[in-house]
Structure 1
Amino acid sequence: MGNDRMPTMADIARKTGVSPMTVSRAFKSGSLINKDTRDAILQAAEELGYVFDSTASNLRSKKTDFIAVTIPSINNANFADTVGGLSEVLNARGFQILLGYTNYDVQEEERLIEQFLRRKPQAIAVTGGKHTRRARKLLENANVPVIETWDMPSEPIDHSVGFSNAEAVRSMVDHFVAVGYRRIAFIGGDASRDTRGSDRRLGFIAALHDHGLEASRLIDAGTPPISMREGANAMARLLVEFPDTEAVICVSDLSAFGALTECQRRGVNVPADMAIGGFGDYEIGAISVPSLTTINAHSRQIGARTGALILDLLDGKEHSRQVNILPELIVRESSR
């Protein structure tokens, strides 16, 4: 039967013949301690199965070692890439991410922000630039760097790293119009929940109006996140309600892939009878047949730039309030 208590610094001190204070210093980066002594202490800790508890040290310094992050979906490849890029940068400096999942619900985001602030994060990164009034007030008074990502808010709370979702979709509308499509539709979700999807929808409408085209072909695919199945169902409704549609822009590649499979199921040739565009540059869009025209939002770059910005702000460096990421239109086989 194993030992019923956790090993302590005192145990390591006895094993290595040094004081508990020396053991404590060995676990702190940048402390002035002899390399051989540090190595002996770390080796003893390994043998004893000791895990350094930073809680007491954090309480004394009034600093934690984590960055709070909210994302709307845990199974979205784009947001996973953003968290990956953020983690890679922050981990190099010893920071950890405390991740909160909002499920596209601003009320849940507000609750998470309050919970995070109770734990004294070093910084907070949130997805999007639209929040409840109380959430915005909490972030404004957080007294730590606040980064709004995946958006380009007109009045950022503190700093932002992202792009205009409306302008990103405009680039696809411009492409579709340039190659000859005129009757263009949009498939998206509940605009009250997915603010980035709502901005894409508004960008679609504005771009069509600027081209002198009507923008009434709007299909609501349901509550975000929009799945492949919901994209397929939305395409089925589009084909019934607007059978003369020539092209459709979907709020994401997942919904676009669903729309593509529904066209194939119904014998609608893509792109000869119906062009399809998505958003996000998911892997499935690159390998589908035909491959999907899409917009690459550079999601991992958003995370990496957010991480670098957080570190600079914690180091006291000055920064412009907004870091603009430029999405890239990728034209593939689903549009001519």
Structure 2
Amino acid sequence: MNKDRKQPTMADVARLAGVSTMTVSRAFKAESYINPATRDAILKAAAELGYVLDNTAAGLSSRKTGFVAVTIPSINNANFADTIRGLTDGLRQTRLQVLLGYTNYSVDEEERLVAQLLTRRPEAIVVTGGRHTEACRRMLQNAAIPVIETWDMPSDPIDAVVGFSNAHASELLVEHLVSTGRTRIAFVGGDVSDDTRGADRRRGFVRKMKELGFDASRLASVGSPPISMREGAQAFSDLIEKWPDTDAVACVSDPAAFGVLTECQRRGIAVPDRIAICGFGAYEISEVCVPAITTVDPQCYEIGKNAAGLILKAIDTDGEVSPLGTLALESMLRIRSSTAKPSKRT
């Protein structure tokens, strides 16, 4: 966090809107009467400045609220649960607690949640991903607290980053599949705008396939994230009808990969002899199913643990985290039997 960055105040909003601070205060109170045009002008000025009303200022002169705000895309995703566990473990010996909100993979919902969370004045905020609406980005930039972007490697970070390249994760899968002799490779998922990290994995797949000189057009649509096992199975059913000679499938997630595996078993398609399957996320199901599924391990727990470390460093150094502004974690390929070299080609 840049210590020189000044958080917008109510007086700043008043100056920009051309009204008094008292009028600004009334504009933020739903029960107060104020001319609608004046209220709109004030809210527009607040949005332009990235100003968020401080609901706790009157009672918290120390400015220490004792919590860290966190946004995640889903509360029933084991990967994000592991990240929260790492964050919580990293903060366990402190007075800090985690206040959690989930965005349902929507940047618009993230904007709404960030606005609400910042009114409570957290001591830091951790967000999932590096793509945000312009309004959300302004709020985070002007929050005057440590902001940690996770699960991504944004080209223009707001503050600190703990993440990895989702595109590179798919490139690892393509390189591995090609090394086993597969070249007619399809990709399942990552085709909706809200799933920015899934879209990056899909782009990484396409880029690496083209770089290696192979057809990158075998792209199977799924649906809105999080992608279920059932949707993975349906996507494979569609793609194998369209591209029956496909010899490998890379999936946006392990649940999707498990769905592909079960559809292969229903159709009597041998894995890995006829088709190889791999996923992303190192979910437990990918390790215990038969055959076990090759996957990319993004080190979910370590993302949270390292984010906690940056927060603690920021607190210890009065907000200055720039020496550790970006922590790039190396995704690890977990090679399992679902991508073993085929004993015979059909």
Report the TM-score when normalising by structure 2: 0.80
Partner of 1:227: 228
Q: Would you say the 8 A contact 1:200–1:251 is kept in 2? A: yes
CA RMSD of superposed structures (Å): 1.4
1:56 deviates by 10
Distance 2:108 2:283 in 1: 28
Distance 1:113 1:141 in 2: 12
Q: Would you say the 8 A contact 1:58–1:64 is kept in 2? A: no
Shift in CA distance, 270/118, structure 1 to aligned 2, threshold 3 Å: same
Partner of 2:242: 241
Distance 1:58 1:156 in 2: 33
Deviations 1:69-122 (CA, angstroms, capped at 9, x unpaired): 000011110000000000111121111111011000100000000001100000
Deviations 1:168-227 (CA, angstroms, capped at 9, x unpaired): 110110111111111000001443011000000000000001100110000011111101
Number of residue-to-residue matches in the alignment: 282
Deviations 1:265-308 (CA, angstroms, capped at 9, x unpaired): 01011011110000000000000000000000000000000001
Partner of 2:335: 331
Partner of 2:142: 141
Distance 1:208 1:236 in 2: 22
Residue identity over aligned pairs, in percent, reads 55
1:99 matches 2:100: yes
Letter of the 2:195 partner, please give it. D
Deviations 1:126-168 (CA, angstroms, capped at 9, x unpaired): 0000011111111010100000000011110001000000011
Letter of the 2:333 partner, please give it. L
Larger relative contact order (C-alpha < 8 A, sep ≥ 6)? 2
Partner of 1:258: 259
Distance 2:57 2:272 in 1: 62
Partner of 2:297: 296
1:57 deviates by 11
Shift in CA distance, 111/56, structure 1 to aligned 2, threshold 3 Å: closer
Distance 1:183 1:62 in 2: 58
Structure 1: 4+ residue segments shifted above 6 A? 55-58
More deviation in 102-111 or 188-197?
188-197
Partner of 2:36: none
Letter of the 2:177 partner, please give it. F
1:281 matches 2:285: no
1:229 deviates by 0.6
Q: Would you say the 8 A contact 1:189–1:226 is kept in 2? A: no
Question: Which structure has the bigger radius of gyration?
Answer: 1
Alignment of 1:1-336 (within 5 A): 59-316=60-317, 318=321, 319-336=323-340
1:335 deviates by 0.4
Distance 1:301 1:189 in 2: 24
More deviation in 273-282 or 316-325?
316-325
SS of 1:245's equivalent? coil
Give the unaligned 5+ runs of structure 1: 1-54
